[in-house]
Amino acid sequence: MSAGWIKKRFWSEVSVGAVEGGYRVTLDGRGLKTPAKSALILPTEALAEMIAEEWRAQGELIDPARLPATRAANSAIDKVRGQQAEVAEIIAAYGDSDLVCYRASGPEALVARESAAWDPLIDWTAHRYGIRPILREGVMHGPQPRALLLSFQAEIARLGAFELTAFHDLVAMSGSLIIGLAVLDRFATPDALWLASRVDEDWQIAQWGSDPEAEALTEGRRDAFLQAARFYFAAQPPQN
């Protein structure tokens, strides 16, 4: 939302309708636009309804924090569309230093937790892409097989602008390309995959405790991860 954007609610009716190229959300008959003044045309009715519900839920004063799907759609149109190859390349780079491939050498309980949470993801990756990721102890970087990275890149390259926008947040919030891809493949629920991304952090909290500021930051990242999953699936064309 741009500076100077109207903060007070100015509409009474929110509607969704089919238009050329997709679906559009209207406020009292006026179609939403992006900050760059492009028409906010959504690829699916489900995504349009998701955005419409955000606007219906607004109170007398508009709260941009309660418009996450609208913001993501704006980004897809204004920032990602036309630059999909570059965005895909940035995201794919996570695959060469993926969270789930770097394991602790101790203590034994942490090693066991990482193994329980991450080994199924490694097995899924090996089955899904035909190449098993290389696991390493510690945090020193070591490259993954080039063929695996190329497979990741090919998978990401097929995503449209709206899907890619959501996928970026899945990877950025979890710190793992593999976890993000597992969400897309419905390997497990987004909630379960979020917990998998938190193994090391949750271990540290169990040992040393947390603080309200860190907890709020974590909750915000969790909300963004789960919102990105909802956005991604809403942007998927209906299956015949």
Q: What type of residue sits at position 103?
A: R
What parts of the chain have a pLDDT lower than 50?
1-4
The structure's pTM equals: 0.93
Q: Where does the chain show beta strands of DSSP type E?
A: 14-19, 22-27, 30-31, 41-42, 102-103, 136-137
Tens-place pLDDT, residues 111-167: 999 999 999 999 999 999 999 999 999 989 999 999 999 999 999 999 999 999 999
What architecture is domain 14-80?
A: 2-Layer Sandwich (3.30)
The C-alpha angle with vertex 122 and arms to 162 and 89, in degrees rounded to 5, equals 35
- Listed by start position, the domains of the chain span 14-80, 84-234
Q: Which pLDDT score, from 0 to 100, does residue 136 have?
A: 96
Q: Which pLDDT score, from 0 to 100, does residue 3 have?
A: 42
Q: Give domain 84-234's CATH number out of 1.10.3580.10, 1.10.1500.10, 3.40.50.300, 1.10.540.10.
A: 1.10.3580.10
